[in-house]
Amino acid sequence: MPTPPDPSLLYPEVAAYGSLAAALRAAAEDRLGAVPAISSNSAPLLHAAVASTLPHRGLLEISAWSHERRWTIRGTDVFQGLSLVDGTTDDLAEVAKAARAWHDGAALEAIRRAAPFVHPTGRFDVPDREPARLTDSEWQHLRQAAAELEYDWQEPYQCLIEAAYAEPALRALYPFTSHWALRFSSTTRPDLTIVGPSLTAGGDGTYGLGRGFITPDLGRFATAGEAVAMAVRHLPPGLTSST
């Protein structure tokens, strides 16, 4: 990989202000007002962050690309550290609009309306950390992420997610993925309690079920529905998602 150029060459206006946080405030044209923008100590030209007034939201992290002139944002929740919004743009003024809306506690869709480059991930705010709502939020994220995939195997993967979601016994569990394997937990993040088998969508159009991580030692199936039905049979009885 080629050595990235000096950040001051890609972002001369940021270098002129001394930090991304200061350049963000200048690009905002007073839109940020008294909103504090935090600079990175290690790479002030490349990284900044803006806090939210909502206690359950974490920082809106703002990062500059190292090989191309673009900025990426990522806004997380406090409890799980998962993205509620993300997005990429080459317009720092648009980043400032998103930062203002994030700081003010605007609804996630309202942040997108304020700055159209913002991409809500499908997760939603759960201020009270209620387990059922966190579980619903994560299912919504997985379903949206599967629908937005652009890989050749997007369709079988989406079929797997939708088939699992349609099964009440699995929908009641907290879902997560690792290396594209769909897994389940009886507790929500950050302390997952893995239960049941893992489900995978193969590149050959089949669906795998395994006791462990990825190996389909419980079989391969022609349809997502068959794999999901067998997964339910391997669940311990009486499971629901909890903290």
Tokens 């990175």 label which residue?
40
At residue 231, the pLDDT reads 97
Average pLDDT rounded to a whole number, residues 56-73: 97
Do 54 and 125 form a contact (C-beta atoms < 8 A)? yes
At residue 31, the pLDDT reads 82
Provide the residue type at 33 as one letter.
Answer: G
Picking from 99, 91, 93, the residue whose alpha carbon sits closest to that of residue 37 is 99
Report d(CA 15, CA 158) in Å as an integer: 44
In the 3-class helix/strand/coil scheme, how is 132-177 assigned residue by residue?
Answer: HHHHHHHHHHHHHHHHHCCCCCHHHHHHHHHHHHHCHHHHCCEEEE
Residue 28 token pair: 């905002």
Instruction: With cut-offs at 50, 70 and 90, classify the pLDDT of residue 202.
Output: confident
The yes-or-no verdict on residue 242 having pLDDT over 80 is: no
Picking from 176, 178, 180, 163, the residue whose alpha carbon sits closest to that of residue 232 is 163
In the chain, the percentage of residues whose pLDDT exceeds 90 is: 82
At residue 215, the pLDDT reads 77
Q: Across 21-173, where does the E strand assignment appear?
A: 37-39, 47-50, 57-64, 71-77, 83-89, 119-120
Task: Return the SS3 of 36.
Answer: coil
Cα 65 versus chain centre, distance: 19
Report d(CA 135, CA 226) in Å as an integer: 23
- pLDDT single digits (tens) 112-164: 999 999 999 999 999 999 999 999 999 999 999 999 998 777 899 999 999 99
Residue 49 token pair: 């962050």
Average pLDDT rounded to a whole number, residues 226-232: 97
Nearest 10 degrees: CA dihedral of 17, 23, 25, 29?
Answer: 100
Provide the residue type at 152 as one letter.
Answer: D
Task: Return the SS3 of 242.
Answer: strand
Relative to beta strand 119-120, strand 37-39 is unpaired
Task: Return the SS3 of 92.
Answer: helix
The yes-or-no verdict on residue 8 having pLDDT over 80 is: yes
At residue 243, the pLDDT reads 53
Report d(CA 31, CA 181) in Å as an integer: 43
Angle separating helix axes 154-166 and 224-233, nearest 10 degrees: 40
Instruction: With cut-offs at 50, 70 and 90, classify the pLDDT of residue 1.
Output: low
Taking each continuous run of H as one helix and of E as one strand, the counts in the chain are 9, 11
As a whole number, the mean pLDDT across the chain is 93
At residue 195, the pLDDT reads 96
